[in-house]
Amino acid sequence: MQKRSLGTSGLEVSAIGLGCMGMTAYYGPGKDKTEMKSLLPAAVEQGVTLFDTAEVYGPFVNEEVVGEGLKGVRDQVVLATKFGFDLSGPERVPGAIGLNSRPEHIKQVCEQSLMRLQTDRIDLFYQHRVDPNVPIEDVAGAVKQLIAEGKVKHFGMSEAGVETIRRAHAVQPVTALQSEYSLWWRRIESEVLPVLEELGIGLVPYSPLGRGFLAGALKGTSKLDEKDFRAKLPRFSPEALRANQLLVNVLQQVAERMNATAAQICLAWLLAQKPWIVPIPGTTDLGRLEENLAAASMQLSAEDLQEIEGAAESVAILGERYPENLEQMTGL
3-state secondary structure 235-261: HHCHHHHHHHHHHHHHHHHHHHHCCCC
Strands 152-158 and 12-14 turn out to be: unpaired
Contacts 24+ apart (CB under 8 A), 253-256: 253/311, 254/307, 254/308, 254/311
Indicate whether 316 belongs to any domain. yes
pLDDT tops 50 at residue 145: yes
Which domain CATH number covers 319? 3.20.20.100
pLDDT digit string, tens, across residues 168-190? 999 999 999 999 999 999 999 99
Indicate whether 231 belongs to any domain. yes
DSSP for 246-304, written as a single string: HHHHHHHHHHHHTTS-HHHHHHHHHHHH-TTB----B-S-HHHHHHHHGGGG----HHH
Task: Please say if 57 is a catalytic residue.
Answer: yes
The per-residue pLDDT for 19 is 98
CA pair distance 164, 154, nearest whole angstrom: 17
The per-residue pLDDT for 207 is 97
Our measurement of the distance from residue 152's CA atom to the centroid of its chain's CA atoms, rounded to an integer in Å, reads 19
- Cβ atoms of residues 251 and 283 within 8 Å: no
Q: Which residues touch 148 (CB under 8 Å, ≥6 apart)?
A: none
Indicate whether 56 belongs to any domain. yes
CA pair distance 23, 35, nearest whole angstrom: 9
Angle at 317 between CA 209 and CA 284, to 5 degrees: 20
Residue (of 207, 202, 183) closest to 192 by Cα position? 202
The per-residue pLDDT for 95 is 46
Indicate whether 21 belongs to any domain. yes
Which residue among 27, 57, 126, 206 is the active-site one?
57
The per-residue pLDDT for 132 is 94
Which pLDDT band, with edges at 50, 70 and 90, does 18 fall under?
very high
Angle at 107 between CA 105 and CA 108, to 5 degrees: 65
**Domain residues for 222?**
3-327
CA pair distance 197, 119, nearest whole angstrom: 31
Three-state DSSP class for residue 11 = coil
pLDDT tops 70 at residue 304: yes
| Domain total of the chain | 1
Q: Which residues does residue 85 pair with via DSSP β-bridges, in sequence order?
A: 99
CA pair distance 6, 312, nearest whole angstrom: 27
Q: How far are the Cα atoms of 1, 64, 127, 326 from residue 323, in angstroms, in the given order? A: 37, 29, 21, 6
Q: Which amino acid is at 109?
A: V
pLDDT tops 90 at residue 89: no
Indicate whether 332 belongs to any domain. no
CA pair distance 139, 145, nearest whole angstrom: 10
Which pLDDT band, with edges at 50, 70 and 90, does 90 fall under?
low
Residue with the larger pLDDT of the pair 223 and 237: 237
